Amino acid sequence: MTGRGPVRGPDATLVHGPWEAPAVKAALLGRLEHLEGLGLLPADHRAVLCVGSVARGWANDGSDCDLNVVAAGPWYGPSVRTIPVPLRPPSVPAAVEYLDGRRWEIKYWLDAQVDQMLAKVSWDRFEERSLASDVLTETEELFLERLATCLTLSGTSWVRGRRLELGATAFRAFVTTRSLIEADASIEDALGQLAADDIDSAVLSARKAFGHVVDALLESHGAFGSRLPKWRARRFVEVRPRQLSYEDYWAVETMRDLPQDRPGGWVTRVVRLCRDLSTDVEIH
């Protein structure tokens, strides 16, 4: 894990840089030439983005390499599956290839579909008090959040422009608000279960509330990813929010400090911590 901190771009969206080492990028570009030879890259592509754990420097030997290809027109190659999306057109083709023992999944997006997703998270929509889950599917949300952290293999100017557009939307406010609302619901569950002497359930609800609050805190800094909680610790290290140390975060995340003789007191303390952290989360 690198000790270098995140770099802030002009749109205040976190733009991460440590994994964009020349050797890593060169290796990926070499594989792109192979994919192009297989007919898996459309000639009219606007951008090719490496996304997910490989792009963020979090991959292991078993990780997939995920690519988002954005093109002007539809791709008609041999897709392995089609992912439905509430856009026009209403699907995203995906192909799979195996290179050097690693699974590569390539999703083919239209530039016009990106326009539609960005329009869904306008500030006007946010002022209508819509939630991210009301306006975006998980597939759409993952595309937008990964736009902020992708490793650009082709189309640097396209990515730069789209990141600026994303930073001007209410996307961050949408996902941060959703996490806070989910935290509030879990806090109410925990307190109700505690009052009913359902201690085990209260412990789990308090733990769930804490996860949502931490997600909201990280999302308020532009470190998106609440759809994939397995990377929460990684995102926490990137942001290192002033409100909570990593040691205190990890103690609750793992329930390491849960006393077996007084679990109810732990629930009360975690709920109080969640409420304190919630008041410090900025919606912007």
pLDDT at 23: 67
Please give the model's pTM, rounded to 2 decimal places.
0.89
Q: How far apart are CA 176 and CA 262, in angstroms?
A: 32
- The 10s digit of each residue's pLDDT in 36-63 is 888 999 999 999 999 999 999 898 889 9
DSSP state letter for 172: H
* Of the candidate ranges 2-11, 47-56, 219-228, 262-271, the one whose mean pLDDT is the lowest: 2-11
Contact 277, 232 (CB under 8 A): no
- The 10s digit of each residue's pLDDT in 85-143 is 999 999 999 999 998 888 999 999 999 999 999 999 999 999 987 666 789 999 999 99
Long-range contacts, stretch 34-41, CB < 8 angstroms, 24+ apart:
34/99, 35/97, 35/99, 35/104, 35/106, 38/97, 39/77, 39/78, 40/77, 40/95, 40/97, 40/106, 41/69
What does each C-alpha distance from 280 to 46, 159, 217, 218, 224 come to in angstroms? 40, 31, 8, 11, 17
Question: Cα angle vertex 136, ends 134, 138, to 5°?
Answer: 115
Instruction: Point out which residues pair with 170 in neighbouring strands.
Output: none
Contact 13, 172 (CB under 8 A): yes
Is the pLDDT confidence value at 19 over 90? no
For the chain, the domains span 7-169, 172-279
Q: How far apart are CA 205 and CA 174, in angstroms?
A: 23
Q: What are φ and ψ of residue 3, in 5° steps?
A: -90, -5
Q: Top-level CATH class of 7-169?
A: alpha beta
Q: How far apart are CA 94 and CA 75, in angstroms?
A: 10
CB atoms within 10 A of CB 66: 22
pLDDT at 11: 34
- How many residues can be counted in the chain? 284
- The 10s digit of each residue's pLDDT in 65-76 is 999 999 999 998
